């Protein structure tokens, strides 16, 4: 059977050919839909604004990071209301200018955030291409180029993790990648859960450090595992998981009669930038038969640097890795891969729903390219493409320079902090996170004590 979704209008060539109006249900089917010349002109004018106001000002330090307005004020400035009739192109272009003016310039050199590192022109072009083409990555026949590109990028990332083979998928965020890993580990532990669910089963328990990303709790809650069944492992003074504490907690869980199934190590914690000791954690996972997932959403990019990849020593022993090239490598939000060591089709077995309307098995090409059924999504964005084009443009050495530069900048800031009055370094960083206290003049002579710390804490939020 064929299904045709009739949402596409008759095109302009056909309008010219057909002289008699076809009227159905009050709609002139061969009448004008939209003036494509005016539409194209609008796009051209808007692109000029984007080029001038966003791209050319991206690295201009004389511009503001943000023209800040409080919510109620900004609501008044922006004409947010959607009305029955549309606005003129002139009004719309002004709206675009306003939106840009009052938005944060995330590529500004003074915008310090773990997701951003300035502008990358190549990934930006790739993103413009995919927005214009508007693909959905589920089957080869609909996304031939982007599926091949995703395969190539995943293969290359797997090389840097150090696996001989593997599988993977790009997801809308590191949080979602962590959820995938948690679900995969659970499926591997007990494949029946896919059909039967968790009801009546022993309590599944997973382990992660107390410095882990908050998505671990979100994932445990969403997947029906429960946040109380995330056992948080103590960290040392640098924020790294203490392997001996992990061992103790696994034994405690076993004694309680619960079912440990997963350890989530972190490579690059959110606040301190700490790297868990992967090799020692992998030993414990092997001993206890636990899946090892490494949340390298933030720290994964160090794998590209021959100088800094030692931070992730032992990552090749992981069963799965989350790695977001949209952070230090500048690929643009969102660009997040989950990589899986298993090459026996575990992703597909765990996630497939085998929708007959989409994933027919009797197509005229190799349907192993139809990777959509590895995903919890149906339509999916081609996020690998921007990373690919950027990699093609810079080469591995260009990516490596970005990582080396970020870490050198961190080292430079540390030295500056040490020299300056009123600044106090929290700890020597091992990655690009520099944690410090700013002590304002009014507190510099105050005695160390609860009152001092209470006042100092207030400084950092005001």
> Per CB under 8 A, which region of 110-118, 231-239, 243-251, 281-289 contacts its own copies?
110-118
Q: Measured between alpha carbons, how far is 122 from 394 in angstroms, rounded to an integer?
A: 9
- By beta-carbon proximity to its own copies, the closer residue of 282 and 312 is 312
| Among the listed residues 258, 261, 263, 260, the one whose alpha carbon sits nearest the alpha carbon of residue 202 | 258
Backbone angles phi, psi at 127, to 5 degrees: -70, -35
Q: Which of residues 234-263 bind its own copies (CB under 8 A)?
A: none
CB 265, CB 232: distance < 8 Å: no
Q: Measured between alpha carbons, how far is 331 from 399 in angstroms, rounded to an integer?
A: 11
> Per CB under 8 A, which region of 90-98, 161-169, 240-248, 312-320 contacts its own copies?
90-98
Q: Which two tokens stand for residue 331?
A: 């690929």
Residue 374 DSSP one-character state: G
| Among the listed residues 354, 353, 351, 319, the one whose alpha carbon sits nearest the alpha carbon of residue 338 | 319
Residue 263 CB: number of other CB atoms within 10 A?
A: 29
Burial 185-223 (b: 16+ CB within 10 A, else e): bbbbbeeebeeeeeeeeeebbbbbbebbbebbbebbeeb
Q: How far is CA 157 from the centre of its chain?
A: 15
87 makes contact with its own copies (CB under 8 A): yes
- By beta-carbon proximity to its own copies, the closer residue of 186 and 280 is 186
Which of 20, 255, 357, 442 lies at the binding interface for its own copies (CB under 8 A)?
A: 357
- By beta-carbon proximity to its own copies, the closer residue of 265 and 432 is 432
229 makes contact with its own copies (CB under 8 A): yes
190 makes contact with its own copies (CB under 8 A): no
Q: Which of residues 288-327 bind its own copies (CB under 8 A)?
A: 307, 326-327
Minimum Å gap between C-beta 162 and its own copies is 17
- By beta-carbon proximity to its own copies, the closer residue of 151 and 247 is 151
CB 206, CB 264: distance < 8 Å: yes
Which of 94, 162, 172, 455 lies at the binding interface for its own copies (CB under 8 A)?
A: 172
407 makes contact with its own copies (CB under 8 A): yes
CB 321, CB 171: distance < 8 Å: no
Residue 108 CB: number of other CB atoms within 10 A?
A: 20
Q: Which of residues 329-348 bind its own copies (CB under 8 A)?
A: 332-334
- By beta-carbon proximity to its own copies, the closer residue of 220 and 282 is 220
42 makes contact with its own copies (CB under 8 A): yes
Minimum Å gap between C-beta 280 and its own copies is 26
Minimum Å gap between C-beta 286 and its own copies is 26
Which of 196, 252, 310, 418 lies at the binding interface for its own copies (CB under 8 A)?
A: 196
183 makes contact with its own copies (CB under 8 A): yes
> Per CB under 8 A, which region of 112-120, 280-288, 314-322, 337-345 contacts its own copies?
112-120
């Amino acid at each position: 059977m064929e299904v045709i979704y009739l949402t596409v209008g008759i095109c302009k060539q056909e309008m010219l050919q057909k002289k008699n109006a076809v009227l159905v249900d009050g709609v002139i089917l061969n009448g004008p839909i939209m003036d494509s010349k005016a539409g194209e002109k609008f796009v051209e004018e808007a692109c000029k604004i984007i080029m001038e106001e966003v791209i050319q000002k991206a690295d201009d330090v004389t511009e503001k990071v943000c023209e800040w307005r409080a919510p109620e004020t900004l609501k008044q400035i922006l004409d947010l209301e959607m009305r029955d009739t549309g606005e003129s192109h002139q009004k719309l272009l002004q709206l675009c200018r306003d939106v840009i003016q009052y938005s944060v310039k995330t590529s500004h050199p003074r915008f310090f955030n773990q997701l951003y590192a300035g502008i990358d022109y190549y990934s930006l072009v790739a993103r413009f291409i995919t927005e214009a083409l508007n693909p959905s990555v589920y089957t080869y026949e609909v996304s031939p180029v982007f599926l091949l590109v995703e395969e190539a990028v995943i293969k290359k990332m797997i090389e840097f993790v150090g696996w001989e083979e593997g599988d993977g998928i790009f997801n809308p965020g590191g949080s979602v990648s962590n959820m995938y890993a948690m679900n995969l580990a659970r499926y591997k532990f007990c494949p029946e859960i896919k059909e039967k669910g968790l009801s009546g089963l022993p309590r599944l328990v997973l382990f992660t450090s107390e410095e882990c990303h908050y998505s671990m709790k979100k994932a445990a809650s969403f997947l029906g595992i429960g946040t109380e069944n995330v056992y948080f492992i103590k960290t040392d003074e640098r924020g790294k998981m203490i392997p001996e504490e992990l061992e103790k907690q696994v034994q405690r869980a076993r004694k309680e009669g619960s079912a440990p199934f997963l350890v989530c190590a972190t490579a690059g914690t959110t606040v301190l930038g700490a790297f868990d000791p992967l090799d020692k954690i992998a030993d414990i996972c092997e001993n206890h038969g636990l899946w090892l997932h490494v949340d390298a959403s933030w720290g994964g990019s160090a794998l590209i640097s021959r100088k800094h990849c030692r931070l992730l020593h032992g990552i090749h022993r992981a069963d799965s890795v989350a790695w977001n090239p949209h952070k230090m490598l500048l690929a643009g939000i969102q660009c997040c891969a989950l990589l899986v060591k298993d090459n026996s089709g575990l992703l597909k077995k765990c996630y497939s729903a085998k929708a007959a309307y989409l994933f027919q098995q009797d197509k005229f090409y190799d349907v192993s390219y139809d990777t959509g059924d590895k995903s919890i999504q149906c339509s999916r964005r081609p996020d690998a493409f921007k990373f690919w084009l950027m990699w093609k443009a810079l080469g591995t050495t260009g990516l490596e320079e970005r990582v080396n530069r970020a870490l050198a900048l961190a080292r430079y800031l540390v030295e500056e902090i040490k020299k300056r009055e009123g600044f106090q370094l929290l700890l020597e960083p091992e990655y690009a996170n520099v944690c410090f206290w700013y002590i304002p003049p009014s507190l510099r002579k105050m005695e160390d004590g609860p009152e001092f710390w209470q006042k100092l804490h207030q400084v950092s939020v005001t």
